Amino acid sequence: MSTADPSSPPVPTCYRHPGRETYVRCTRCDRSICPECMQEASVGHQCPECVAEGRKSIRQPRTALGARVGSGVPVVTYTLIGICVLAYLGELASDKVVQDFMMVGLAQGRDGALVGVVEGQWYRLFTSMFLHQPPRGGSFGITHILFNMWALWAIGPALEQALGRWRFLSLYLLAGLGGSVLLYLLDPLSGAVGASGAIFGLFGAFFVIGKKLGGQTGPIVFLLVINLVITFAVPGISWQGHVGGLIVGSALAVAYAYAPKKSREAIHIAATVAMLILLIALILVKTASITPY
């Protein structure tokens, strides 16, 4: 025979698990929650939905340049290294990879036909920054990709963390494009491969951002000076690619580092788009000047 008082209120149950009796309530929404649903809060316990809602209202931490503080894994840096390594393996498998994708404004191909940017092969402006001199390709051989990938691994993660993924990737690609464009403007008949233009852009950005944040810039200045000396002293190096990348990377870094906080995001986007438009305009003007001949 039941001894329960029929007039007593029913025992509350968890709103997410109706079969579980509980006397604990969420301190935010006042709904009943069982031990499985309880999540500790500053005062009492909250339900999973209130905890998730509270997290949305918390401002995500950002770096001094406006990038979201993420997991710390430099995904873009590792991806760029991976692409360069895969491209290098392709070069080892076939000589056609370098011939078909290197940067050249105008040249004669294997079959005698004209090839290059002038002939509509715009992709060469980008693909060349992922290629490197193969071991049998000249005096630098495998040291070409080894140095560039070491430099990318050494300074890429720090820059990616400070800038955020989209800014870092934009800077890398536009610096690489800047190197190709300067070569195209000054010596369109020459060919070149390598991520060096993009790497020099990262060197310049590292210096600019280091100065802005009050960090040590001596080591990057030393590295940059040494590489500039090698660029102009050693025959066979495309100095245009290095200098073009350095100019573009440094200019973008100035826009990223010194934009006012209030309009920082808009200025970063505008600077990136403006740089891309400028480089495209230079390519079109140069192509128009070559095509009649």
Please say if the pLDDT value at position 98 is more than 50: yes
- Count Cβ neighbours within 10 Å for each residue of 235-266 and write b for 16 or more, e otherwise: eebbbbbbbbbbbbbbbbbbbbbebeeeebee
Domain range summary for the chain, segments of one domain joined by +: 10-53, 75-288
The question of whether 196 is a catalytic residue gets the answer yes
Read off the pLDDT of each residue in 42-67 and give the average, rounded to a whole number: 72
pLDDT band at 219 (very low <50, low <70, confident <90, very high): confident
Q: Which range, of 9-23, 121-135, 183-197, 224-238, averages the lowest pLDDT? A: 9-23
Q: What is the pLDDT of residue 70?
A: 66
Q: What is the mean pLDDT of the chain?
A: 87
Q: What is the pLDDT of residue 257?
A: 92
Q: Which position among 128, 196, 238, 250 bears the catalytic label? A: 196
Q: Which position among 180, 242, 250, 268 bears the catalytic label? A: 242
Q: What is the pLDDT of residue 233?
A: 87
Please say if the pLDDT value at position 1 is more than 50: no
In the CATH scheme, what is the code of domain 75-288? 1.20.1540.10
Q: What is the pLDDT of residue 173?
A: 97
Q: What is the pLDDT of residue 58?
A: 57
- What are the pLDDT digits (tens) for 176-217? 999 999 999 999 998 899 899 999 999 999 999 998 888 788
Q: Which range, of 18-32, 44-58, 99-113, 152-166, averages the lowest pLDDT? A: 44-58
- What are the pLDDT digits (tens) for 123-166? 999 999 999 988 765 556 788 899 999 999 999 999 998 898 99
Contacts of 107 (CB under 8 A, 6+ apart): 114, 115, 116, 189, 191
| Residue percentage of the chain with pLDDT more than 70 | 88
- What are the pLDDT digits (tens) for 265-286? 899 999 999 999 999 999 999 9
Cα–Cα nearest to 238, from 102, 114, 113, 43: 102
Q: What is the pLDDT of residue 128?
A: 95
